[in-house]
Amino acid sequence: DSGVTQTPKHLITATGQRVTLRCSPRSGDLSVYWYQQSLDQGLQFLIQYYNGEERAKGNILERFSAQQFPDLHSELNLSSLELGDSALYFCASSVGVSGGAKETQYFGPGTRLLVL
Amino acid sequence: KNEVEQSPQNLTAQEGEFITINCSYSVGISALHWLQQHPGGGIVSLFMLSSGKKKHGRLIATINIQEKHSSLHITASHPRDSAVYICAVGPNSGGSNYKLTFGKGTLLTVNP
């Protein structure tokens, strides 16, 4: 158990809908990262928040948005869903800000999204 | 060309065999990570290294910065090692330091 929690575990929805994925980082971790894992693309970095502020953006679509709240939990909002958004969405956390540079990230169990 | 290339894509071994998974990257990095993804989907960080070699139990990770290459070795493999092993790099390029770039993974199956 990494200490990172994600809800829900599974989500089935229809095209055009909006969903919210939730992540709670490990106790003491200030950074939260969101990743998308699809069969054809593998793992891709979406966005990072550090202590409530956006710190880095990756391949995140304009239909997607995220935020980190004062209690450090984070939400990833996906809107106008398309079939191609079906994927596993992982949240990870780390203590500091440099998640790619010399810092271990701890991954949550993921949310499996299926868009029909 | 992907920034991170792994080989092989798939690997089948018999229990007890020595296993090597390779990772090559094309950018300057600050650190390289090896991750393990279990069949259920969960991801665990195995190693983070920026030089030399690290060992944890039956797992050994090495990196050659000059050649931009890393290897993950598993000694005395066991069926419970069956998983996808993913290499990821943290670039050493200013503002993008926070972003991990991932290889497509190596699916390892260890048969009893």
Per-residue pLDDT averaged across B74-103, rounded?
86
pLDDT at B97: 59
In degrees rounded to 5, what are phi and psi of residue B81? -80, -10
pLDDT at B104: 93
Would you state the pLDDT for residue A98? 76
Please tell me which of the candidates A43, A44, A97 has its beta carbon nearest to residue B98. Answer: A97
Residue A97, chain B, CB below 8 Å: the answer is yes
Decide if pLDDT at A109 tops 70: yes
Going from the C-alpha of A106 to that of each of A5, A14, A63, A111, B26, the distances in angstroms are 10, 31, 26, 15, 25
Q: Which residues of B touch A102 (CB under 8 A)?
A: 30-31, 48, 50, 90
Mean per-residue pLDDT for A82-111? 90
Query: What whole-number distance in Å separates Cα of residue A48 and Cα of residue A32?
Result: 6
Q: Which two tokens stand for residue A39?
A: 């069969």
What mean pLDDT do residues B16-42 have? Answer: 92
Please answer yes or no on whether A110 and B88 come within 8 Å at the CB atom: no
Pairing of β B10-14 and β B106-111: parallel
Does residue A82 have a pLDDT over 70? yes
B63 pLDDT band, cuts 50/70/90, is very high
Lookup: tokens for B63: 């990196």
pLDDT of residue B37: 96
pLDDT band at B11 (very low <50, low <70, confident <90, very high): very high
pLDDT of residue A53: 94
Q: What pLDDT score was predicted for residue B92?
A: 74
For residue B103, which residues of chain A lie inside 8 Å, CB to CB? 42
Residue from B61, B86, B88 nearest B73 by CA: B61
What mean pLDDT do residues B61-80 have? 96
Asked whether the bond before A70 is cis by omega within 30 degrees of 0, the reply is no
CA distance A10 to B10: 27
CA distances from residue B3 to A54, A100, B23, B86 in whole angstroms, order as listed? 25, 14, 10, 13
- Which residue would you say has higher pLDDT here, A97 or A7? A7
Quick one: pLDDT at residue A14? 97
Q: What are phi and psi of A84, to 5 degrees?
A: -70, -10
Which pLDDT belongs to residue B41? Answer: 79
Q: What is the rounded distance in angstroms from the CA atom of residue A110 to the CA atom of residue A91?
A: 7
Quote the pLDDT of residue B96: 53
Nearest CA in chain B to A47: B99
